[in-house]
Amino acid sequence: MSDDEAGQAGAEAVRAAWGRIDAWLRKWGPDSYARLAPPAEPGAVAAAEAALRMRFPAELRASLGCHDGVGGEGVLPVKPPLSAAGIVRYWTRWMELTEEEREFGDPEEEGEPSWHPRWIPWAESDGDAQIIDGRDGPGFGRLGMKYHDEEGSFGDDAPSLAAYLTEVADALENGRSVGGRVPYVGVSGEMWWAEAPAAPSGGG
């Protein structure tokens, strides 16, 4: 499968996952469903790509084409997605914080740099962001975290935005967890994610 074909397959998976999430929220979490923004205007996505000086991965463009961000936490288990304009604001803030650095990360050192210009913040709250790796190579498109007071980090839990959103849709429909967190819905129709209860220990 070519890179273009893989990108299109990922974009379709993102749209399908958002469709499932939307349908579940309309039925079970209407207050949270109301927080979902309408699709981003193509011009807003193009402007964001120009500001970051890169073309977004197909999966991120597909997600913005479903919802231009989410107003408030609770819809997804990690962080609420940013709008196209919010992506630019967060990225620009970190670029300004690191503008005096000539290089982003020392190749002699292990681990990730404090910030990299090809990291794309896609979801954020309280200064901490879930980021998409836009660097070329085998890690392209994977999800990681950038905490405001720590270096960026990438694990194996979310190899792509499509995989993450599909896992969320599966959890909503089938009562599963995402990263150890399970969804709850209050009587008002507002949902949130909390740590899954520990399994009862066997008695003797």
pLDDT of residue 6: 81
Highest mean pLDDT among 93-107, 142-156, 189-203: 142-156
Is the pLDDT score of 108 beyond 70? Answer: no
If one counts every other C-beta atom within 10 angstroms of the C-beta of residue 56, the result is: 21
pLDDT of amino acid 204: 46
**Portion of the chain with pLDDT greater than 70, in percent:** 89
pLDDT at 89: 97
Q: Which residue has the tokens 């790509």?
A: 49
What DSSP element (H or E) covers 132? Answer: strand 128-133
Residue with tokens 């970051």: 52
List the one residue out of 62, 26, 40 whose CA is nearest residue 172. 26
Is the per-residue pLDDT at 149 higher than 90? Answer: no
Residues 204, 196: Cα–Cα separation, whole Å: 24
Match 């299109």 to its residue by tokens: 8
Query: Is residue 170's pLDDT more than 80?
Result: yes
pLDDT of 198 strictly over 90: no
Average pLDDT of span 114-126 = 93
* Token representation of residue 47: 């402007």
pLDDT score for 104: 52
Which of the two residues, 7 and 65, has the higher pLDDT score? 65
The CA angle 28-128-67, to the nearest 5 degrees, is 40
Q: What CATH code is assigned to 3-195?
A: 3.40.1580.10
Q: Which residue has the higher pLDDT, 182 or 2?
A: 182
When mean pLDDT is compared across 21-35, 107-121, 125-139, the lowest value belongs to 107-121
Asked whether the beta carbons of 52 and 95 are under 8 A apart, the reply is: no
How open is the CA angle 139-192-11, to the nearest 5 degrees?
35
**Has residue 81 got a pLDDT over 50?**
yes
Domain ranges of the chain: 3-195
Identify the pLDDT of residue 101.
Answer: 56
Residues 127-136: tens digit of each pLDDT:
999 999 999 9
- What is the SS3 assignment for 48? helix
How many Å apart are CA 54 and CA 126, to the nearest integer? 25
Q: Are 136 and 148 in contact (CB under 8 A)?
A: no
pLDDT tops 70 at residue 94: yes
